[in-house]
Amino acid sequence: MSASQTNTPPSATPQANAPQLALSAVHFSYRRPGEAARVVLKGADMAVPRGAFALLTGPSGAGKSTLLRLFCRLEEPDAGRVLLAGEPVDALIPAILRRRVSYLQQTPVVVPGSVRENLLLPFGFKVSAGQNPPGDAELSAGLARLAAGDIPLSQEAGTLSVGQRQRLCLVRALLTRPEVLLLDEPVSALDADSARAVLDAAEGFCLDDGGTVVLVSHAAFAPARVVPLRYELSGGALSWTPAS
What letter represents residue 199's amino acid?
L
CB-based contacts of 132, cutoff 8 Å, min separation 6 = none
CB-based contacts of 33, cutoff 8 Å, min separation 6 = none
Which DSSP symbol is given to 5? G
pTM for this entry: 0.88
What letter represents residue 48's amino acid?
V
C-alpha span between 19 and 13 (Å, rounded): 8
Count other C-beta atoms under 10 Å from residue 91's C-beta: 9
- Identify whether the C-beta of residue 175 lies closer than 8 Å to the C-beta of residue 134: yes
Q: What pLDDT does residue 5 have?
A: 42
Q: What is the pLDDT along the chain (244 residues), one digit of tens a residue?
A: 444 444 445 544 445 578 999 999 999 999 888 888 899 999 999 999 999 999 999 999 999 999 999 999 999 999 999 999 999 999 999 989 989 999 999 999 999 999 999 999 999 877 666 678 899 999 999 999 999 999 999 999 999 999 999 999 999 999 999 999 999 999 888 888 889 999 999 999 999 999 999 999 887 677 788 889 999 999 999 998 876 5
C-alpha span between 114 and 129 (Å, rounded): 22
Burial of 117 (0-12, 13-18, 19+ CB in 10 A): middle
Q: What pLDDT does residue 16 have?
A: 52
- Identify whether the C-beta of residue 3 lies closer than 8 Å to the C-beta of residue 54: no
C-alpha span between 41 and 34 (Å, rounded): 21
Domains of the chain are 3-238 (3.40.50.300)
Instruction: Compute the Cα dihedral for 205, 208, 212, 216 and give only its sign.
Output: positive
C-alpha span between 98 and 33 (Å, rounded): 30
